[in-house]
Structure 1
Amino acid sequence: MHLCQEQWRHHQVLVQDLRKQSNKTMELLRQQHQALSEDLAAAADLVERVEGHMDSVVSQTSPRACAKEADRVVEQGLWSQEESRGDLDQDWEEIPSRVSDCMEIISSIRSVKILKRVGAPKGVWLRDPRSSKVYVLNGTAGDTVYQFESVKAFTQSPGGADAGTGTGTRSIRLPSAWRGSGVAVYNGYLYYVQQGADVRVVKYDLLSGEPADTAILPVESRSFVYGLNPETLADVAVDDHGLWLLYASSESEVNINLAKMDPVTLDIEHIWETPCPRDKAEAAFVACGSVYVVYNTRLPSRSRVQCVFDVNDKVTGQEAPLFYFPRRYGAHASLKYNAEEKQVYSWDDGYQILYRMNVKKKLN
């Protein structure tokens, strides 16, 4: 019995020593974890400050050639009354599809304005260059489009579940469902990619509330155009030259195809095979006859313009701007360029953001 008691006391001492050592080790690990967390937070803050400094330097040193006499949007990102370019109650003048004398290229991002958060992580918001009205498509598919009288009316409208309600808001029910970010508004017409067995572009008259035309896209299969946004089978874009279509002709197509469309008949006038890969592309926009493809990673990081293709071969590889977007919330679900304002309307993880762009003359 005496031996058993001695052994029990010995084991008890060992257990107490082990408990003390474990407590010391755990305390040391907690201290190291806290120090590591502080180091990571400091490193993240440093990276953010460096990125902000880089964005500031690029913004300050970028040329501002070809700027209009007055920006369409004031510094606070809101519309003034005199900036209205028409009203849907008036007759619309059809803009002919032609190549303009536009000789500009986007050089960098001048400023950023975060307006609000509607709700859905993905969606589209944009404005017709010929009107002050703003159009919102909340989500990745549906048959409803919300129209707001202006950017200011949109910012003052409710968000979340009540998005699309409020003063100056009009709910438009389309004759067929749209899918993805393949949407454009041009000269009083809404162009969208229809959800269905075929991939179609539908032209919808916003004045009469009736479909004006439809066209089947030249694709062999239902292939999404952007690797990081598989909801978008094809993307419709508008710039100084008119109406464009970005798409992939088949699943085996590595790069993005670009087509020039007649905005009246929806006939395809010309097709280009761009050198811009579909893989890791999140969105794209067209400005002055050049397509800018924005890339990211599957775990969202900083979006960046990594491929530029000019249909007139006026932009050389050395001149092509390859720049980063300021880091925000996640990844862009859509990017819509407005040629009148020199601005890009973006949807980033439910937030609606305006990027005002710097432009310069093309070299050639």
Structure 2
Amino acid sequence: MEQRDAQERRFSSFNLTGSPGLNGRDGLPGEPGLDGIPGRNGLDGLPGLDGMPGRNGVPGFDGVNGTDGIPGTRGERGLKGEPGIRGLPGPRGLKGESGSPGMDGIPGINTWHVTGTPPSALLIPPSIPGSTRHKSNKQPVVVIREGENLRLRCEAAGKPPPLVVWSRQDGGVIDMGHWHDVQIAGPLLNLTLINRVHAGVYVCEADNSIPPADFKTFDVQVHFKPYIRVKHWKVGTYNGSSATLECLVESFPVAISYWEDQVGRIIGNSTKYSISYHQNPDVVWKTTMQLNILTIDGSDYGNYHCVAKNELSITRGQVKVHEIDRTRYTPSVNHADEITFGPAPPRIQSYEELCPAPEKCQKCEKCVGHSAILYGLRVEKYGNVTYPGPRNRTSDCMLSAVGKPVYHSQTNSKYGSWMRDTHPRGQQGETKYFITSPSDPNYLYEYANKNYYLHKENSKTHTLPTPFVGNSHVVFNGSFYYQERNEPNLIRLDLATNETTSLTVPGLATEGQVFLYQDSRDYLDLNIDGNGLWAIYSPAPDSATVIMKIHPYTLQVEYIWNISMNHKHYGNYFITCGVLYAVDSSTKRETRIRVALDLFRERLLDVDLPFNNPFKRTTMLGYNYDNKEIYSWDNGKQLTYPVKVIDMDDRDTDEDDEDPEEARRPADYDQDYEVDPLAHS
């Protein structure tokens, strides 16, 4: 191509025009030229037309299930739905495990009608509190140190009054100083400067010829340090022979015994030594220990020790083995007086030897009048106001036994009050329970029945017109009675109409730490019984006890007693049948009711009843005369105590026949036995 172009240019320069030549053959392709500079982008083209809709795709495969997500927060509790229709009874379930034994009930009585006697003569067999007649494994175990004094009590009730006789279960004698008795009559058994021979089981039996007789047993365990008696303290023998060493050991708890040789090494059974121990089958605290030395040689002579050790002390006895001339004497023992090691038992002395009977005082003239001195108590009218006097007594009875506490429910509050209406207006009121809490002094919580109460689902909340103070309230005939906070007022609130009645209590404390009992938050203690409404308080700062008798409907004061009983000395008071009872302590597990004052007759009654605070903090105590139960609030636990009451007519109430010297004062003890630990010091 390039050559042809060159020829054309050459011929054109001569302006000659030739005939067209033949087309030449294409030349060989030249090498590719360099890339040109890219041109500018062209303008955007016009939008294209929409395409035709595509066909539906083929359905895909199912995906794999995902993992569960994190649980969300719990939503609020919805409203309680309507009860559903009761379903069909299900199949009978498998037999459950046996339940635990129930609590002991109140002992019953047998009555007998004797031919030829009037029907009013009721004969009752004897009964001992804590009797072991049906519970042989429940006998009290009394642990005492030798040399102390022990007093066992066995009070029995029955009609006619039973005779109480003490004896030993093994049939042995009871050592009482100069006398050895097989049986001792009376409710008290005094063992003074107690000796190891006094250890054993003692039985008090009560009998009044009305079967069955009752009895109670006491297992007395006397603890003392080991005491060793060596009858033959010097044993003679010769080479090639043998020797027997013996020690008599007395100790309880039973001692661990062993032998030591001349240098203090413990001896064990071997070909050289044979050791044996023999415990007395009749007396557990007596043991005989023997050491037999075989084939004596020169190294066996010297002092051997019998050792006895118990938790109180360790005692070492000594036996000497010496050589004798075999040509002149046969092996023998020295028959000199025995020697002893350790503290010897004290000499037995009777109670009469230690405490001779005091001289009998002259008879005091009987005090008469409204303010008679009753065993050191003064009972007078309170204040100078004249009152109409208490209405006629409608219930005349007294407590003869208090049963074991029965658990019902509990809260976290150490203080509180729970109540039943002792005289409800209708049948619905008979099932209701009421509770107050010191943290909510403006409310009274009502529970329709026991099921609601146990599940803590109150059916009604009563808003009080004024807040309360304390825990000793009562509910009676549909009304709630309480002390108004910071005011000396007793309030009666009708729970049906919300109408209130108030009474100003003279001298009633309203603030400060001048509470009524040892461990309470009460200034006023309210009680209700068959005779009406009672209010117990103490006018601050006086320590005397004031009892106010009030008409339960009108709150009219009928009478006020002023009693010289220091309320701080007692754990709680309560009133039933017009009798004021005092519980010794509200913080001791085992305590007693030993003071009972008949407010109508103004005289002390002979009572001594055990009482139990199982959780050791009773802050509320009240008697429900309708159910014959004591209600308590013990460290947040709600308990009841079944009680047994007897009519006053069943007891001799004729004061003119009573000898003041023989009248029983309230005893100062907490159990059926007393131990004097300082007797031997």
TM-score in same-fold range (> 0.5): yes
CA distance in 2, matches of 1:346, 1:56: 22
216 and 102 in structure 1: CA distance in 2 versus 1, 3 angstrom threshold = same
CA distance in 2, matches of 1:255, 1:304: 21
1:254 counterpart residue number: 543
Structure having the larger proportion of residues in helix: 1
Contact 1:287 / 1:337 at 8 angstroms: preserved in 2?
yes
Give the letter aligned to residue 143 of structure 1: N
1:143-292 pair list within 5 angstroms: 143-155=442-454, 157-158=455-456, 166=457, 169-196=459-486, 198-208=487-497, 210-219=498-507, 221-222=509-510, 224=514, 226-251=516-541, 253-292=542-581
1:137 paired with 2:427, answer: no
- Computing the radius of gyration from Cα coordinates, the structure with the larger value is 2
CA distance in 1, matches of 2:133, 2:391: 32
What's the secondary structure of 1:325's corresponding residue? Answer: strand
Q: CA deviation at 1:258?
A: 0.4
Give the letter aligned to residue 594 of structure 2: Q
What's the secondary structure of 1:291's corresponding residue? Answer: strand
Q: CA deviation at 1:222?
A: 3.8
CA distance in 2, matches of 1:331, 1:225: 15
1:71-110 pair list within 5 angstroms: 98-110=391-403
Contact 1:276 / 1:293 at 8 angstroms: preserved in 2?
no
Contact 2:418 / 2:433 at 8 angstroms: preserved in 1?
yes
1:320 paired with 2:609, answer: no
Alignment partner for residue 582 of structure 2, among 289, 293, 301?
A: 293
- Greater relative contact order: 1 or 2 (C-alpha under 8 angstroms, separation 6 or more)? 1
Contact 1:141 / 1:179 at 8 angstroms: preserved in 2?
no
Q: CA deviation at 1:343?
A: 0.6
CA distance in 1, matches of 2:157, 2:476: 30
Where structure 1 has 5 or more consecutive residues not aligned to the other structure, the ranges are 1-53, 65-96, 159-165
Q: CA deviation at 1:55?
A: 5.6
1:77 counterpart residue number: none
Alignment partner for residue 413 of structure 2, among 120, 129, 133?
A: 120
CA distance in 2, matches of 1:140, 1:273: 33
1:330 counterpart residue number: 616
CA distance in 1, matches of 2:645, 2:158: 7
CA distance in 2, matches of 1:216, 1:328: 37
Give the letter aligned to residue 214 of structure 1: S
1:348 paired with 2:634, answer: yes
Q: CA deviation at 1:115?
A: 0.6
What's the secondary structure of 2:467's corresponding residue? Answer: strand
CA distance in 2, matches of 1:178, 1:294: 25
Q: CA deviation at 1:230?
A: 4.6
Contact 2:613 / 2:634 at 8 angstroms: preserved in 1?
no
342 and 169 in structure 1: CA distance in 2 versus 1, 3 angstrom threshold = same
1:56 counterpart residue number: 130
CA distance in 1, matches of 2:132, 2:526: 30
Task: Provide TM-score, normalisation by structure 2.
Answer: 0.36
Q: CA deviation at 1:289?
A: 0.4
Give the letter aligned to residue 213 of structure 1: T
Give the letter aligned to residue 449 of structure 2: S
Give the letter aligned to residue 204 of structure 1: L
Kindly report the root-mean-square deviation, in angstroms, between the aligned alpha carbons of the 2 structures: 2.7
328 and 258 in structure 1: CA distance in 2 versus 1, 3 angstrom threshold = same
Contact 2:572 / 2:585 at 8 angstroms: preserved in 1?
no
Contact 1:283 / 1:294 at 8 angstroms: preserved in 2?
yes
CA distance in 2, matches of 1:178, 1:343: 25
What's the secondary structure of 1:270's corresponding residue? Answer: strand
CA distance in 1, matches of 2:446, 2:633: 16
2:93 counterpart residue number: none
CA distance in 2, matches of 1:201, 1:236: 9
CA distance in 2, matches of 1:150, 1:195: 29
Q: CA deviation at 1:307?
A: 2.3
Task: Provide TM-score, normalisation by structure 1.
Answer: 0.66
Q: CA deviation at 1:177?
A: 0.9
Q: CA deviation at 1:294?
A: 1.8
What do the CA deviations read for 1:235-282 (whole angstroms, capped 9, x no partner)?
11100101010011221x222110101112212110112343211323
Where structure 2 has 5 or more consecutive residues not aligned to the other structure, the ranges are 1-127, 135-155, 160-389, 654-681
Give the letter aligned to residue 238 of structure 1: I
CA distance in 2, matches of 1:122, 1:230: 8
328 and 103 in structure 1: CA distance in 2 versus 1, 3 angstrom threshold = same
101 and 180 in structure 1: CA distance in 2 versus 1, 3 angstrom threshold = same
Give the letter aligned to residue 229 of structure 1: D
Give the letter aligned to residue 122 of structure 1: Y
What's the secondary structure of 2:609's corresponding residue? Answer: coil
Q: CA deviation at 1:102?
A: 1.3
1:308 paired with 2:596, answer: yes
1:339 paired with 2:628, answer: no
CA distance in 1, matches of 2:537, 2:574: 12
Contact 2:488 / 2:508 at 8 angstroms: preserved in 1?
no
Contact 1:286 / 1:337 at 8 angstroms: preserved in 2?
yes
